[in-house]
Amino acid sequence: MSNIPLAERLRPQTIDDYIGQSHLVGKGGVFRRFLETGNVPSFILWGPPGVGKTTLAKLVASQLNRPFFTLSAVSSGVKEVREVIEKAKKQRFFDSPSPFLFIDEIHRFNKSQQDSLLGAVEQGIVTLIGATTENPSFEVISPLLSRCQVYVLKAMDDNDLQTLLDRAIRNDTLLASRHVKVEETEALFRFSGGDARKLLNIIDILAASTEGEITISDQTVTECLQQNIALYDKNGEQHYDVISAFIKSVRGSDPNAAIYYLARMLAGGEEPRFIARRLVVLASEDIGLANPNALLLANACFDTVHKIGMPEARIPLAETTIYLATSPKSNSAYMAINRALQFVNNDTTNRPVPLQIRNAPTKLMKELDYGKDYKYAHDYEGSFVNLEFMPEGLIGKRFYEPNRQNPSEAKIAERIQTLWKGKY
């Protein structure tokens, strides 16, 4: 019994025992309706680690008493998918509901693996339940995604974590035999990061590193995790710290630190496509117009990682990381769209588009002077004509501020100034 992790010992047996996700499992929630009606569509659970995706899937199957097949996207290929679909076919009798097929980390399935699922889902041979930490819009093929409902699970807040802690102390016989003294919870909740499994793993580590009474305080939690750093990393405790350090090292132009954190993520089993997506964001947010080629390389890296996978994916990831870290930096495009969005979101004026740049596809619109006096830029020297594009009241308003510290944008700033003669 003591070899079973606390997270497994406390896994809920009914939906009433489930902590968190009240928008899904609370009174009137969609999962309550599933259990009441028995009508369950294929669905995908999207949320961070340790928020109860697997538990929720198992609860639906067990409380409806339907066969439940599982596949791990990490270790299963097309062959395993087809085998489990054949097993599911044999479980169907007359008009009985279809068995559930649960696929953990469905975002790791490639296109051919997902294609092999499509027919079984379309024909109702299985009801698919996918679990993913990644945005399914990017990782699940459109035909499969269109046949699934997507439900978003949220990280647990401190109230949820407190409820979980109280339940563990009250209900777990092993903890009860040791007696748990709770002095402080700030460090415990902070290191848990909204992840129920992390919280329970930390308690397991505390229990294993002490004898007799277990004291939970900021000091004991911090000291214990420092002493057990290898185990802590293995359980993904520092996932968000390491990705944050990676991003800030690239932004800070330190290629050696960036490569170090890249290696830590890859060695820890981080999904390479997650890293590739972060590089695309970095290329546009932090390098931007200082070196537009950065976004081209990051996109090429993203495509390559999708095609080849690990271990070869480490090479384009490293190449792109070093390129971005050593590139000149500018966040001017990022700041420009943020300023514009902030202005638009707070602008109560429904500002009409100037008549001369409105579209005029109909005779009536032309009679109303839509498009009148529009000047086609390419008809003029340098493909530029001084025309007002801003709505009334915003003439001369600036959202984009070129970063003159790098040569690329210094040229942009000079061109804007020359064309618009100091207007911007």
Mark which of 152, 175, 195 sits at the end of a domain. 152
Q: Are residues 271 and 366 in the same domain?
A: no
Distance, CA of 327 to CA of 254 (rounded, Å): 10
Q: Are residues 220 and 249 in the same domain?
A: no
Q: Are residues 109 and 172 in the same domain?
A: no
Distance, CA of 287 to CA of 294 (rounded, Å): 7
Q: How confident is the model over 264-283, as pLDDT tens digits?
A: 888 776 778 889 999 999 99
- What integer best gives the mean pLDDT of the chain? 85
How many structural domains are present in the chain?
4
Closest CA to 128 of 180, 166, 62, 81: 81
Q: What percentage of the chain carries pLDDT values higher than 70?
A: 94
Structure tokens belonging to residue 60: 């639906």
Amino acid at 231: L
Regarding pTM above 0.75, the answer is no
Q: Are residues 54 and 174 in the same domain?
A: no
* Three-state DSSP state, 69: strand
Q: How confident is the model over 229-238, as pLDDT tens digits?
A: 444 344 444 5
Number of other CB atoms surrounding residue 23 within 10 Å: 14
Here the CATH number for the domain that contains residue 97 is 3.40.50.300
Residue with tokens 């970095």: 282
Distance, CA of 81 to CA of 126 (rounded, Å): 11
Distance, CA of 209 to CA of 207 (rounded, Å): 6
Q: How confident is the model over 168-216, as pLDDT tens digits?
A: 999 998 888 888 999 999 889 888 878 888 899 889 888 888 888 899 9
Here the CATH number for the domain that contains residue 228 is 1.10.8
Q: CA dist 394 to 62, 336, 342, 412, 424, Å?
A: 61, 15, 15, 22, 12
Q: Are residues 28 and 124 in the same domain?
A: yes
pLDDT of residue 162: 94
Distance, CA of 376 to CA of 383 (rounded, Å): 8
The helix (run of H) or strand (run of E) holding residue 219 is helix 218-227
Domain region containing 381: 345-420
Q: Are residues 140 and 101 in the same domain?
A: yes
Here the CATH number for the domain that contains residue 287 is 1.20.272.10
Q: Are residues 57 and 103 in the same domain?
A: yes
